Structure 1
Amino acid sequence: MYRHPPHTPTLLAALLLPLFSGLALANEVELSTITIEASTPTQDNTVSAADIAQSQARDLNDLYRRDAEIAVGGGANPIAQKVYIRGMEESLLSITVDGAYNSGKVYHHQSALIIDPQLIKRIEVEKGTAAASAGPGALGGAIRISTLDGRDLLADGRRFGAKLSAGLASNRGVRGLVSSYGKLGEQADFLLSASRLDTRNYRDGAGNQIAHSDTEQQHLLAKLGLDLGSGQRLSLGYQASEDEGVRDARANMVAFPHPVLPNDPIPQNLQRRTSTLAYTAQPGHGVDRLAVNAYHNQVETERTNLAGRNWGEALRSQGVDLALQSALGAHLLKYGLNWREEDSAARAIRNPYNLTGSGREDASVGGAYIEGLLDFSPLELSLGLRHDRYRYQDNHGQTFRSSGASPSAGLVWQANAALRLKLRYAKALRGVGMKEAFMLDIARWKNVANIEAEQASNREIGFEYRQGGFSLNGNAYRQLIANYITTVACASSAGGCRQNAGAARISGYELGSAYAQGGFSAGLSVAHSKPRFNGQPFSDAELGLGTSSGRSWVLRSAYRGWDDKLELGWYARLVEGFDYRPVGSSSQRRKAGYGVHDVYANWQPRGKQGPSLNLAVKNLFDKFYYDQATYGWNGYQNKQLGYAEAGRDVRVEAAWTF
């Protein structure tokens, strides 16, 4: 059975209450408002709520398809989708939702993150080894997702508001959302939002119905904020998401027969529960901003095979982050502490393979960082350093400890009013940590005794040019992930040994341009990465590490007019084909290139309040294709195992904001 960890928002509140109370008593004077950007020296991109609404985004693919450096594989079934940045899988990233860590691996054939894009306010993306302030273990970068709260939605001068929306998709899907938000007295604000997405088996661009791709998702978001005066704010959040359906046992692969490991369709369920407690203040006395964030995140997955065996995994993380900022003249100093505990447990071990181990693991990491953003105009210098200590006890009773420093540095030269040149370097350490939770169900997979911590480094050079409504930017990088930990065949363990398996090296570039004039905007970007593991290109079998894709182009244009009440847009993603060696094959095949076009139209006759109508057409020309980040051809099965992407999908959504 699961070891259900206690859900502890009250414990977290108790730990933080003395801090809140002390700050409130120490600062009984009214402070002036201080605005400090939360971005980091290495932040590359953001996705806004407006971007999400334009495309009626409903899964990870929709969220990131406008970024040439980000790929999402797994087909059009949300549960099978995984995010790749520069070819590196999401398990190498630090992914947080409202500050709650959500990067653990549950089952390598599916994502651990399910979220309704309608509830997202902003996504910040750091590509490549992240800055010191990004937290521990951000080997390949960071993704920070922030959800909406009542203040974001409430119109000026209003005390209460509500939003109702309903959408219909021609490629067999419906969704709806109900939100209520407002003020409680003069200091408190709230948000309650519930949504549901139902899809049936979608059709690909060739008209084929994809079996076992239907899904039911339910999402809940509740937020309560309290302004305490003197620049202090306390907020409490709770999110609940659930995805269920009958899928192939390996949800990212089509069904296939196998005498020992069949891929039959079975009921599957994934749930995420996240609680957050955040406090921000402007304490003064040399500290311009203080932020404390405590969280508890739990992911549970369950599957039942045709023989009636019920199994699955539970993965929990909880932690507290303290972040402070101090302005020193034109300079900014950021510093803080991070603490996180994790544990995982197998749902049931019936020991059909003479398995060993407890079926449980736990880990913790504590770290501190300092980061200076120094303005010596026309030069800007950033220097960062963090130190982390990791502890991990595996399911065989072995304890591993790792520690080390992660420095970072960046230099920006404002060459003239239009041109900025950039250099940056960053290192990150990730200590030996928990296995993928699924591996606790096949516990013969053992850790060797001498595993070393993984270490990443990234060197990057870039530029930004802005003149009037035109902008051009680009960067080139080389990244190394040393001591990569994975499971390989070995003589000492019948199931395999988890150990340091080698080094991954990724080199690549990105170039983007944009133009805006009046209500018209357009953009073009191109990106290509060449990831290699021990000298060989990433293959589809590198689960937990990454995959290879061809050069990617993204084009877009939009027009907003009629007093900002109407917006029309188009964007396309074009990916070049490339040759690769499939899993189980001795010869090369080609991953075909493709071009996919989307268009949208938004109409808000009364502005943000009142009715709105959105039309989005995904895959306008009904292209049949496989995303190159999706698991491809398998030589052992002699067939394509990954799912084709959805064909044309006309989405219509009507909403009313009160």
Structure 2
Amino acid sequence: MKLRRVFPLAGVSILALATASAAQDATISQTPGTIVLSPITLVADGQESVEATGGVVVTKQDIEALHPADVSELFARDSAVTVAAGSGQSKRIHVFGLEQSNLAVSVDGVPQFKDGWHHSGSNVIDPAFLKRVEVNAGAAPADAGFAAAAGAVRYETLGARDLLTAGRTQGGRVGLSYGTNGRGVSANLAGYGVHEGFDWFAMIHAARGDNYDAGNGDEIPGSESAVTGGLVKLGYEFETHRIELSYEHSRDDADRVARMNMDLSDEVFPLKITRDTLSLRYSSTAPTAMWDPEMRFYISRNKYTRPDFIPDRTSGDFAFEAQAVGGVMQNRFAMGPGTITTGIDWAYNDYKIDNFGDTDVRFHTTETMQVGAFVQGRFEFQNGIDLSTGARVDHHRYTDWNGLRKADSGVSVNGTVAYEVSPGYEVFAGASRTWLGYDIGEYGYLHARDSSTFTSPDYEPATATNYKLGVNANRGNWTGNLTLFDTRLDGLANAYFPILENSEEYRSRGVTLSGNYSWGSGRFGASITTAKLTFDGDELPPAGGEATPIGTVASLFVDQEIPQYNLTVGATLDMADRLSGDYIDDNGFEDHPGYGVLNAYAEWRPASYENVVVRLGVDNLLDKAYYERSSYGRNTERDVTPLYAPGRTVTLGLTMDF
């Protein structure tokens, strides 16, 4: 790591902690009669304001309005996040054009695996279980987890207390929907309750459908929905302690094409993808200024199996899986004008690839081990300055399929500072330098590699650098944000083998602008993001991988309540410009067409049955033929076919609480 880049940020962190300690006894004074507007803060209740620095928050209200069937619909209203088309397991999420595996992704605090294979999605989660999603784009806090290269994604799932109404100790929810254009039937059932010190939540979800048709009428083979999942949470509180045991399972089992995100051939083959996570969490129900602990231990497994696939082809039959054991122990305590979180985390990851004997090496196994210590301070000073800054030290060990072992340690630092220049207006700047350890890349590539495959003796840990600069506005019923960003990823894995070596620099730089306006019974929002994606200084073509061009993308949405009819209506318009230029043509791709797609919904709550919600949704109302930004482009030289998104799809759903 280049220390001259680390020392300045580390100095900011040390200075902030010292300033916070000195300010511990300070008080706030105001002139009598002064009207004080609600302040804008980058930190509140010990956490960053994600949206205030160009990130994305999908709230419970958003999820209830969108009723998303997949991650494309989950992030439909946020231009910073783009999702490729296809079936759920083929979708790849990109933030500012950078693939999600470059972010620290967690579900209820449990770290998720990086992407396993370039033709499958990364960290796909069933939206039916979700309560909230936060996407911290760019400089991430030290307690976000190890290897937060381009930020962090935090998924939070539902629990008993999220669904119980006032005065109730138990309840349930049932949801049922049917959709045209292959969407088919989707159903979920949940039961939850509390009794003395115990609480429980259990939910199952399943969706079954057929292949969908694109807006041009073509059927997309291997696109049928075939998801089954379950989530169980058991909690117990005694004295001042809380323990929660959680288990989550998901499975996608259907016939798919060989390359799910770029193949429109009619041949389909059986494919099964599963994810299992078991976690145990401890926290305090009566935290004090100096004792607000959290401990979490977890075991997780991702598995991908496609036997009897393509005869006489090394990219045919194979299976790969990743298993992890890890944990985190941390404590948050008050200091002066803010809080400081300190802790340690660790994770052991084991990867196994089985190609059923298609090469001279049937099994490839790889493992990594990470141990880290972190500190993150979050402060709101009296002079209008808000500061979030911290650091972490990690040790990382990597063992490859030939038994080669490499180990190293590194330091990561971050800082974000904001100043309210006038009531309701705030400027901010942020930066981070992150040590990523040894990036193993898309390890699933090993399925088609033989005994000549090896790790370069010069393979080094990867690093990331992030810069952000922007302004926020908050004038009561409207808010706005403008963020300029620059993210550089250096030394990631060149996973195209037969040599695992460091790749050149990936870079995403651009601007994102968002705003929201509320008038009580409704709200309107808009966001627009433009980014330039480069590799080793050259613009990237739409060829998937760690990064892909997004050009300029935008999203507009509106929600409106109509109380006299117990009705809520809304719509979302997603747009993208045309991608063209030498960087497209010179790599054999055709221009990436622009598009504008309109989705609409209506939700009705019968007056006599307030526990019942009937929802009618129409996706791609105008039946446009398009493929979403961050999808592969069309390349006739390499036989790459874009995977088109669904045409007009009408869904009728019913949800009932009891």
TM-score range, shorter chain: 0.7 to 0.9
Structure 2 contact 117–443 (Cα < 8 Å) conserved = yes
Aligned to 1:379: 385
Deviation at 1:583, TM superposition (A): 8.3
Matched, 1:339 2:307: no
CA change 1:285–1:251 in 2 (3 A) is: closer
Aligned to 2:500: 498
1:579 counterpart SS class: coil
Structure 2 counterpart of 1:224, one-letter code: L
Deviation at 1:302, TM superposition (A): 0.5
Deviation by residue 1:317-374 (Cα, 9 ceiling, x = unmatched): 1210122111123221111111111001123441x43348x51111111111111122
Listed as ranges, the matches of 1:120-199 within 5 Å are: 120-172=130-182, 173-183=184-194, 185-199=195-209
Listed as ranges, the matches of 1:50-65 within 5 Å are: 50-65=61-76
CA change 1:368–1:342 in 2 (3 A) is: same
Listed as ranges, the matches of 1:220-619 within 5 Å are: 220-230=230-240, 232-255=241-264, 264-281=267-284, 287-304=290-307, 305-307=309-311, 310-350=317-357, 352-355=358-361, 359-377=364-382, 378-444=384-450, 445-488=453-496, 496-543=498-545, 545-562=546-563, 565-580=566-581, 589-605=590-606, 610-619=611-620
Deviation at 1:538, TM superposition (A): 2.2
CA change 1:38–1:61 in 2 (3 A) is: farther
Deviation at 1:191, TM superposition (A): 0.9
Deviation at 1:546, TM superposition (A): 1.2
* Gap regions ≥5 residues in structure 1: 1-34, 257-262, 489-494
Aligned to 2:81: 70
Structure 1 segments (4+ residues) deviating >4 Å: 282-286, 580-588, 606-609
Structure 2 contact 539–583 (Cα < 8 Å) conserved = no
Deviation at 1:506, TM superposition (A): 1.5
CA change 1:607–1:179 in 2 (3 A) is: farther
CA change 1:112–1:608 in 2 (3 A) is: farther
CA change 1:342–1:586 in 2 (3 A) is: closer
- Aligned mates of 1:563, 1:453 — CA distance in 2: 61
Structure 2 counterpart of 1:432, one-letter code: Y
Structure 1 counterpart of 2:647, one-letter code: G
Structure 2 counterpart of 1:367, one-letter code: G
- Aligned mates of 2:44, 2:245 — CA distance in 1: 22
Deviation at 1:609, TM superposition (A): 5.2
- Aligned mates of 1:335, 1:225 — CA distance in 2: 25
Which has the larger displacement, 602-611 or 409-418? 602-611
Deviation at 1:297, TM superposition (A): 1.2
Deviation by residue 1:264-307 (Cα, 9 ceiling, x = unmatched): 42110100001111111167675241111111110111002143
Structure 1 contact 585–635 (Cα < 8 Å) conserved = no
- Aligned mates of 2:225, 2:287 — CA distance in 1: 50
1:589 counterpart SS class: coil
1:592 counterpart SS class: coil
Deviation by residue 1:478-528 (Cα, 9 ceiling, x = unmatched): 12112222135xxxxxx5211112111211101112211121211221111
Deviation by residue 1:211-269 (Cα, 9 ceiling, x = unmatched): 22113110111111112232x2111111110001111111112245xxxxxx9421101
- Aligned mates of 2:425, 2:584 — CA distance in 1: 45
Matched, 1:202 2:223: no
Aligned to 1:20: none
* Gap regions ≥5 residues in structure 2: 1-42
Structure 1 counterpart of 2:172, one-letter code: A
1:591 counterpart SS class: coil
Deviation at 1:59, TM superposition (A): 0.9
Task: Report the TM-score, using the length of structure 2 for normalisation.
Answer: 0.88
CA change 1:318–1:538 in 2 (3 A) is: farther
Structure 1 contact 99–295 (Cα < 8 Å) conserved = no
Deviation by residue 1:108-162 (Cα, 9 ceiling, x = unmatched): 2002434321211111110013221111101011111111111111111112111
Structure 1 counterpart of 2:568, one-letter code: E
Deviation by residue 1:430-458 (Cα, 9 ceiling, x = unmatched): 11143533233234432101111111111
Task: Report the TM-score, using the length of structure 1 for normalisation.
Answer: 0.88
Aligned to 2:36: none
Which has the larger displacement, 319-328 or 605-614? 605-614
CA change 1:104–1:334 in 2 (3 A) is: same
Structure 1 contact 583–634 (Cα < 8 Å) conserved = no
Structure 2 counterpart of 1:605, one-letter code: P
Structure 2 contact 338–379 (Cα < 8 Å) conserved = yes
Structure 1 counterpart of 2:295, one-letter code: V
CA change 1:582–1:476 in 2 (3 A) is: closer
How many matched pairs? Answer: 605
Deviation at 1:461, TM superposition (A): 0.6
CA change 1:634–1:216 in 2 (3 A) is: same
Deviation at 1:655, TM superposition (A): 1.4
